[in-house]
Structure 1
Amino acid sequence: MNDEPNAGIRPDGWASVPRMEPAQAPRVWANGPGAARLRPDTPFVGERSPSRTVAPSPLDPGAGRDPHRVHRVLREQFPLTYDPLLRAWVLSRYADVATALTDSRFTHGHRPGDPPCAQTHVAVDEAELRSAAARTAFVLARRIAGRRQADLVADFCHWLPAGTVAAAVGVPYRDMMRLVRGRAASALAGQCTGQIAVREKALANFLANVLVDREHALALLDAPAGAIARAWAESLRRDPPVQIAVRRTGAEVRVSGGTIPAGEPVALLIGAASRDPERFRDPDRYDPLREDADQLTYGRGSCPAVLLAGLEAEYALRALFHAMPRLRLAEGFRPEHAGVITRFPRNLLVRPGG
């Protein structure tokens, strides 16, 4: 997904960044938490007056490098505010975002794993998906095993989701990549499974989290069944690949900080909700053994895309360390996540030979 598409709400329910010049953008002021209102003639976001505080925007300059400061202010001071750059009301607390993702009073778009997506599923065999994910991951890992240095984002994460789908549906890989880039993957694999880009970014986030501590990554491979799945879910919580989703109210809805009228667009800050200290202990820390983990990227229902994403994460880790037992991050390199709509490390430099 592109972080700078055209303005408005995408058909799949993700947010898109409106192209708006600063001088054109109206600003939101609040006289207190939740008291947001539109003021077209006020100064730019970030300015303050003795009596009024400006609600920050997730699209403010610098938010792509560090959105968590903005998220923190919104959660604590502006649980409900209108953002003229997103052209939507903004929710940032876990309880509100989790409700909006499933409540029937919110419409427009769905996540893989939500009930409506079942209507788009094609028949899948879990054993075949597992085999396809394993075969593809091991082939890709072997291709980079002999290199002095590799970028797992470009050389592995970018290829594994598409390659797994290609193997699962019996399409030659070279043809699948052409179809994926031509946006025809869903015709072969179903709407959810054909959404390749989210799985690419989620996989990059997962590998970035586990490879920061190489010994911990190795321990996951030897841990009891389910340990990798738990670490995967924690990565989705701490670093969701999609940071902002958009819904629309079909009825008046009461949330933290006020009431949203019917027929209004609502931006759900999944990234902010996933680090809400009211819901998670020490929320900024990646803890693969976390007992209070809960991710908002996927719904809880049965969906081949959700299953496939978890299998890709599992076999990515197994294949990489099987092909490269001494694999580690390149010397001096630390993953840096970037993006405001989608967020993931643009590079993940590793030394295959240690």
Structure 2
Amino acid sequence: MAVSAIPEDRNMSVDYSPFDFAVHEDPYPVYARLREEAPVHRNETDDFWALSRHADVAAALQDSARFSSRNGLRIEPPLWGPGAERFFSFVAMDPPRHTRMRKLVSRAFTHRRVMELEPRVREIARGYVRRIAERDSFDMMADLAAPFPTDVISELVGVPESDRAEIRELGKAVMYKEEESTDLPPQAMQAIGALVGYYTELTVERSKRRTDDLLSGLLDAAEGDDRLTPEEIVGVLILLVGAGIETTMLTLGNAWHAAWRHPEARRAALDGRIEDWVEETLRFDPPTQAIARTTTEPVELHGVRIPADARVLLLVGSANRDPRVFADPDRFDLGRDTGASLGFGHGRHRCLGAGLGRLEARVALEELASVVADYAIDDAGVRRIHSSNNRGFAVLPSMVTARR
């Protein structure tokens, strides 16, 4: 499998593509050059612009008037375009439609509902960690990071246990690919169709018999006479496959890998600094690296004019390593102030599920730290995912030293 090399020669113009497997391996040197040499970068081949500095990314995320979400969050077809809301629900909408949908979803996806889930989240995590503790080695992704958030979201939504493995496999088919391409592979489209079919049937079933789950809450959510349609509810459930399952899965893997690379931070993390571990991971190596927007009018930044109707990638992963905001940004430091991190977005589209994501990551790592005194990762066996906007691992083989 051929990959293009990351340019090292400072005399060469910097290039960036979210489809380049070499960039997936380590995007941060490219980001550093973009911030300094081309803070408004033009990729002619894939037809997009990229913003890499923290101030520019944060401002664009907050400016939905000039940086629209109407075409979606990822630039490959068919995820990009006027039908993007089929895949991203209200996240691919602008006000006032976004305002209406987010308000209704918020009525079901409450802080209370999330917090009440913690005992069950811990029970699920403990079940996986108990099996890990019986062995000297395990795959962080297959044995915990992937199945755990699938079970949590399924528990939240009301998916029966017998169907959860199928939902996880369909989600993986949508998110990842094995070839460098700007198109979504046919199996991904088939998986999306299968998910739509499954959640449509589940929504019909739940409309006849409510239970104490998020799907029932979405069916009952109302603002006066306004309610979510069945199609809108299915869209929200499809969104949760990526926003609810994948993000937590990748965060757990990235946290595990980052701490392994930084022994001092690893010792502090395993000794109890779990919340700092999660927050610094979201800053240092966030699962969401890029978020797409569409300009509604010409925008000029740093002397460069971006035309109207342009595709713009907001490089969150780069913004979180901007030395203008974070001192020594390439150091994994559990003691730093991560308040300016854009790991969960910014502005009106800030992740509605941030509280649940933090809860899942904290609980899973707490349970791991309770049985693991130290660990190492087999670098030769590590395999990354390949995604245009997300970063993380598919395989992360680990050898553990148990607590005595």
Question: In the alignment, what sits opposite 1:171?
Answer: 159
Deviates more, 1:340-349 or 1:64-73: 340-349
Indicate whether 1:56 and 2:11 are aligned. no
Find out whether 1:201 has 2:160 as its counterpart. no
Out of 77, 84, 89, the residue aligned to residue 49 of structure 2 is: 89
Check if 1:183 corresponds to 2:195: yes
Matched, 1:318 2:366: yes
Provide the residue aligned with 1:350 in structure 2: 398
1:129 pairs with 2:129: no
- Which stretch of structure 1 is more off in the superposition, 161-170 or 187-196? 187-196
Root-mean-square deviation (CA, aligned residues, Å) is 3.5
- The whole-number CA distance in structure 2 between the counterparts of 1:257 and 1:268 is 18
**In structure 2, what is the Cα distance between the partners aligned to 1:49 and 1:98?**
28
User: How far is the alpha carbon of 1:297 from its aligned partner?
Assistant: 2.9
Q: Which residue of 2 aligns with 1:107?
A: 68
From the superposition, tell whether residues 46 and 349 of structure 1 become closer, same or farther in structure 2 (CA, over 3 Å). Answer: closer
CA contact (8 A) 1:112 1:306 kept: no
Whichever residue aligns with residue 38 of structure 2, its letter is: F
**Structure 1's 70 and 48: CA in aligned 2 closer, same or farther, altered over 3 A?**
closer
Aligned length: 304
1:166-212 deviation digits (Å, cap 9, x = unpaired): 22334332313323524358766544544222221122112222344
Among residues 321, 343, 361, which one is paired with 1:297 in the alignment?
343
Secondary structure at 1:328's aligned position in 2?
strand
Q: Distance in 2 between matches of 1:297 and 1:113?
A: 19
Partner of 1:308: 356
Mapped to 2, the partners of 1:216 and 1:67 lie a distance apart of 27
* Partner deviation per Cα, 1:104-155 (whole Å, 9 max, x = no partner): 2111246999875444443441332222321111111112221221011111
Identity of aligned residues (%): 30
Runs (5+) with no aligned partner, structure 2 = 74-87, 92-97, 171-193, 204-213, 216-235
Q: Name the aligned partner's letter for residue 264 of structure 1.
A: A
Q: Equivalents in 2 of 1:216, 1:85: separation in Å? A: 45
1:277 aligns with one of 323, 338, 344: 323
Inter-partner Cα distance in structure 1 for 2:114 and 2:6: 49
The amino acid that maps onto 1:216 is: A
Are 2:260 and 2:377, in contact at CA under 8 Å, matched by a contact in 1?
no
Find the residue that maps to 2:363 and give its secondary structure. Answer: helix
1:25 is matched with none
Q: Is the 8 A contact 2:16 2:30 kept in 1?
A: yes
Structure 1: which 5+ runs fail to align?
Answer: 1-20, 23-43, 222-226
Counterpart residue identity of residue 183, structure 1: L
1:143 equivalent to 2:131? Answer: yes
Q: Aligned letter for 1:262?
A: A
Partners of 1:215 and 1:317 lie apart in 2 by: 13
Correspondence 1:328 to 2:287 = no
Alignment check: 8 A CA contact 2:283 2:338 kept: no
Is the deviation greater in 249-258 or in 158-167?
249-258
Q: Alignment partner for residue 218 of structure 1, among 270, 278, 284?
A: 270
